[in-house]
Amino acid sequence: MGDDEVVKIANETALTDAEARFHDLAAACAKAVLIHTDWTIVFVNDLAVQLLGASAADQLLGQPVFRFLQMQAHDLDQDRPAHPASFVESRFRRIDGEIITVSMASMPCRYGGRPGAQLVVREISERQQLEHRISFLARHDTLTSLPNRADFRERLVGAMARAQRNAQSVGVMLVDVEDFTSVNAKFSHSTGDEVLRQVADRLKASVRTGDTLARVGGDEFAVILEGLKERDMAAVAARRVLAAFAAPFDIDGKQIPVSVSIGLAAFPDDAKELDSLLRGIDVALAAATASGGNAFRFYFPELEAMREADEARSAVTLEFMATLTEREREVLDMLIAGQSNKGIAYLLGASPRTVETHRARVMQKMQADSLAELVRMVVACDRAR
């Protein structure tokens, strides 16, 4: 037997012994303990059997952990920069269907030679439930129960750290519900709330189990896509999200179409620090919205320069608008709105061809410093007649 084989056997024996000791400790723990690998339950101690209302461990072993655990996979993340392995409020569904509130910690472990996680669980009192609820609300959105902006930032910091260690990419997706204010205006705020809840449900169904989904604004959601081998893999997730909104929402018998725009950026390809990455997805989202919506756009530096130029031109345009008379504004509005050349010609006492020429010049120079003069040239047609 060679030295390498001896070392291998010694390592395997040490691992087996360590897992045996771990098994004994978990079995004797004063709290309920479940261990899962690949989200499948592989070990429960007696208190876990009692907690979940089972008559024997066999009723739980081999079952998906999310058959009982009422939370998202990304909430079990233990690589966050604050409160590692801390107890969080969660809920379990017992065998009889009863929902119980618990305090739970998830810690990485190995079981049967495979990576997994140990869930240490204790049922909590009404007072403790209230304390945990307050803590939960500080980090979650009350409408959708998704992580809020502050929690999202913290999770993203952890994801970036893991990606750096593993030489991988992290994709970040910012999803904006298009024209959401019209839903509230046309229907009601309660309908709007239900739309947002259903948007959250469709997003949950369209992202992977391990992805982090958060509500980061009134009508904005964000997704952290971990474990990407390359930046372009995020496009697959974006297409899946767009496809999820192909069908309208059915709310109280009303068919409400909803579409989204998506901005994408990746760490470390597009940015190497948090605020730059978040600014990148904002810029990409603006580009997706400007394209007509129901689309996604990746961040690239030129987009940022273009947005800055657009903002500067918009400021110049507003300055010019302030110099126009009421009559000049009226003419400008008609030219930009594309009203009939004949109608404008009649109003100005000019020929349709003259108006057509001026319209073309207006559209070409909408953001030029000659805009005010150009409008006055058109108005001058009226004065000349």
Mean pLDDT of the chain: 78
d(CA 139, CA 26): 30
Owner of token pair 């007696």: 46
The whole-angstrom separation of Cα 94 and Cα 15 is 33
Average pLDDT over residues 237-244: 94
What's the pLDDT at 24? Answer: 53
Token readout for 186 is 């046309």
Q: Specify the range with the lowest mean pLDDT, choosing from 23-27, 44-48, 185-189.
A: 23-27
If you average pLDDT over residues 203-221, what whole number do you get?
Answer: 93
Q: What pLDDT is stored for residue 326 in this prediction? A: 75
Q: What is the CATH number of domain 149-299?
A: 3.30.70.270
Over residues 13-32, the mean pLDDT reads 57
Mean pLDDT of 151-161: 95
- How many residues are given for the chain? 385
Contact between residue 178 and residue 261 where contact means Cβ atoms under 8 Å apart: yes
Assigned CATH for 310-384: 1.10.10
**Better-predicted residue by pLDDT, 87 or 276:** 276
Position 223 pLDDT exceeds 80 = yes
- Can the peptide bond before residue 257 be classed as cis, meaning omega within 30 degrees of 0? no
Sheet holding 40-44, edge to edge: 40-44, 32-37, 114-123, 99-111, 88-93
Please give the CATH topology (third level) of the domain spanning 3-139: Beta-Lactamase (3.30.450)
If one compares 259 and 309, the residue with the highest pLDDT of the two is: 259
Burial code (b: 16+ CB inside 10 Å, e: under 16) for 42-53 equals: bbbbebbbebbb
Nearest to 113 by CA among 218, 208, 37, 220: 37
3-state secondary structure of 292: coil
Of 24-33, 202-211, 372-381, highest mean pLDDT: 202-211
- Taking the whole predicted model, whether its pTM rises above 0.85 is answered as no
Domain-by-domain residue ranges, the chain?
A: 3-139, 149-299, 310-384
